[in-house]
């Protein structure tokens, strides 16, 4: 049984804008899935189906093998936590600490557990020092971290992040990489995220869906997807710089093995230039 599965899911906005067209998407347990696609591809619309915010116009969505109903919607929101693209859509309390505590409080947890979860979540995203600040007076990247902390504090089994790195500085992006990987390895959390930042994808994802104009046009491992530069170009995306550079070297006779992450590329280049056996 998959944690999330959609079957021929279609969604049409009022005004007859078809945003999703026959989407078949699967999230197995403990996967780290990237959904990449250019502006307007349908990523945010798809994500809003994962915990029942939107209902399919046709087709279906199953969470843990069951359709989302009125009866199980509360349970499902506990199970699937979504960080929206725009943090202003989910921040509304007078202080950061209260905002992050909102979800756990709604779950009916005891005050000690709430306190612990809030401080852990603030620590994970590196904003413990902002605990007593007014969220609306924070910078864009700081707000983004507050929104992420608020969802992490609910400890969902599936964490959905819509454009998590948009607005984060380089250190913020590196922190995010690290904590997404640790959520997945330490807690077995399933992570689904969207991005246009293709460089980020090999560092975090083990499976990729490519979306264009409301459709999934490709799905596969990092190797499988980034071996198709023409397909990526046709949907206005790019190949990350690391495999692009290694391909050029290969084409010019340098015997390097293909790599996608920074660490693997470093290893591959050092070996190619005889600095490592």
Ligand X SMILES: Nc1ncnc2c1ncn2[C@@H]1O[C@H](COP(=O)(O)OP(=O)(O)OP(=O)(O)O)[C@@H](O)[C@H]1O
37 binds ligand X (CB under 6 A): yes
Chosen residue from 6, 45, 51, 165 binding ligand X by CB under 6 A: 45
The least CB distance from residue 11 to ligand X, in Å, is: 8
Chosen residue from 17, 174, 254, 270 binding ligand X by CB under 6 A: 17
Rounded CA separation 3/23 (Å): 16
118 binds ligand X (CB under 6 A): no
**Among candidate residues 210, 206, 164, the one with its CA nearest the CA of residue 185:** 206
Binding segment for ligand X among 41-49, 54-62, 107-115, 218-226 (CB under 6 A)? 41-49
Strand spans (E) along 14-87: 17-23, 26-27, 32-36, 58-63, 66-67, 80-83
Cβ(245)–Cβ(227) below 8 Å: no
Number of residues assigned to the chain: 277
Under 8 Å CB-to-CB from 126, ≥6 apart: which residues?
145, 172, 175
The least CB distance from residue 70 to ligand X, in Å, is: 23
Cβ(237)–Cβ(37) below 8 Å: yes
When the beta carbons of 122 and 210 are compared against ligand X, the nearer one is: 210
**Count of chain residues binding ligand X (CB under 6 A):** 13
Cβ(209)–Cβ(25) below 8 Å: yes
Distance from first CA to last CA of the chain, Å, rounded? 44
The least CB distance from residue 65 to Mg ion, in Å, is: 27
42 binds ligand X (CB under 6 A): yes
252 binds ligand X (CB under 6 A): no
Binding segment for ligand X among 36-44, 52-60, 73-81, 148-156 (CB under 6 A)? 36-44
The least CB distance from residue 91 to Mg ion, in Å, is: 18
Ordered alpha helix ranges (H), the chain: 43-47, 73-79, 96-106, 111-124, 140-152, 170-187, 201-204, 222-226, 229-234, 241-251, 262-272
Strand partners, 81: 159
The least CB distance from residue 200 to ligand X, in Å, is: 14
41 binds ligand X (CB under 6 A): yes
Strand partners, 20: 11
When the beta carbons of 44 and 165 are compared against Mg ion, the nearer one is: 44
Q: Which two tokens stand for residue 2?
A: 């998959």
44 binds Mg ion (CB under 5 A): yes
Q: Which two tokens stand for residue 258?
A: 């293909």
Residues 88-117 that bind Mg ion (CB under 5 A): none
The least CB distance from residue 47 to ligand X, in Å, is: 8
Per-position x/- string for 54-83, each x denoting binding to ligand X as judged by CB under 6 A, each - no binding: ------------------------------
Question: Tell me, what DSSP letter sits at residue 113?
Answer: H
Residue in this structure with the two tokens 């560092």, named with its chain if needed: 203
**Residue ranges that bind ligand X, judged by CB under 6 A:** 13, 15, 17, 19, 37, 39-45, 85
**Residue ranges that bind Mg ion, judged by CB under 5 A:** 43-44, 85
């Amino acid at each position: 049984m998959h944690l999330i599965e959609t079957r021929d899911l279609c969604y049409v906005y009022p005004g007859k804008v078809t945003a999703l067209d026959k989407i078949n998407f699967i999230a197995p347990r403990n996967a780290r899935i990237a959904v990449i696609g250019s502006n307007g591809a349908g990523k945010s619309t798809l994500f809003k189906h994962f915990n029942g915010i939107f209902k399919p116009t046709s087709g279906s969505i199953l969470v843990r093998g069951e359709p989302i109903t009125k009866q199980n919607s509360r349970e499902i929101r506990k199970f699937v936590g979504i960080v929206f693209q725009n943090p202003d859509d989910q921040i509304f309390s007078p202080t950061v600490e209260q905002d992050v505590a909102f979800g756990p409080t709604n779950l009916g947890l005891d005050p000690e557990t709430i306190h612990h979860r809030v401080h852990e979540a603030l620590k994970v995203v590196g904003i413990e020092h902002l605990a007593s600040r007014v969220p609306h007076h924070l910078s864009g990247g700081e707000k983004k971290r507050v929104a992420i902390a608020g969802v992490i504090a609910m400890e969902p089994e599936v964490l959905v992040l819509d454009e998590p790195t948009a607005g984060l500085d380089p250190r913020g992006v590196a922190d995010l990489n690290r904590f997404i990987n640790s959520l997945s390895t330490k807690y077995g959390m399933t992570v689904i995220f969207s991005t246009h930042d293709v460089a980020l994808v090999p560092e975090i994802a083990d499976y990729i869906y490519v979306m264009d104009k409301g459709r999934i046009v490709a799905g596969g491992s990092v190797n499988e997807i980034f071996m198709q530069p023409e397909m990526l170009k046709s949907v206005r995306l790019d190949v990350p710089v690391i495999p692009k550079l290694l391909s050029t070297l290969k084409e010019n006779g340098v015997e390097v093995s293909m790599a996608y992450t920074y660490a693997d590329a470093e290893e591959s280049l050092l070996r190619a230039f005889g600095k490592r056996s």
